[in-house]
Amino acid sequence: MFTATLDKAEYAAEEPANLAFALKNKGKSPVYVNKRFYFGPEDAPKNQKEVYVTITSPSGQKLPFKFPYETGYPKTDYFTLLEPAQEVKADYPRNLRGNFEFKEEGTYTVTAVYQNTFGRELGLDVFQGKLTAEPVRFQIKK
């Protein structure tokens, strides 16, 4: 199970909007996962993201992702074996303002998708499915 949580439900105009990621093994067997949680735009090649985030504005428009960059391959220590019922969290939250502009007042909807493609090149049998977190909503107040 993949979750994305915000630190607050309401933000002032320029206040950081921090999104945290976590993976929990809901299965019966251990599984390797990539805990780097690098995020990029939805349309980036699969090898340029482990997570992508889409945000819908109060007027229903999908916000463009700003400032993508190529990250390269994750280090070996980004991979961890998750035992059943065990959870791993991102080392730090991502400030959404670094990649999105919130120009409107109102409610935004964030959807995060975990879709790792790395690890096999290191000889690890890594989970490579697609997991979509429950959407989260937040308000921007001017």
pLDDT of 142: 82
- 138 pLDDT above the threshold of 80: yes
Q: Are 4 and 112 in contact (CB under 8 A)?
A: yes
Query: Which pLDDT tens digit goes with each residue over 69-108?
Result: 777 778 888 999 999 999 999 999 999 999 999 999 999 9
| Among candidate residues 53, 66, 55, the one with its CA nearest the CA of residue 137 | 55
Work out the burial of residue 3: count CB atoms within 10 Å of its CB; fewer than 13 is exposed, 13-18 middle, 19 or more buried. Answer: middle
Q: Is the dihedral of CA 36, 107, 135, 89 positive or negative?
A: positive
Distance of alpha carbon 86 from alpha carbon 23, whole angstroms: 8
Q: Which residue has the higher pLDDT, 52 or 72?
A: 52
pLDDT of 46: 78
Q: What does pLDDT average to over the chain?
A: 93
Residue 65 structure tokens: 């992702």
pLDDT of 72: 75
Share of the chain above pLDDT 90, in %: 72
- Hey, what domains does the chain have and what are their CATH numbers? 2-141 (2.60.40.2970)
Distance of alpha carbon 89 from alpha carbon 10, whole angstroms: 23
Q: Which residue has the higher pLDDT, 123 or 136?
A: 136
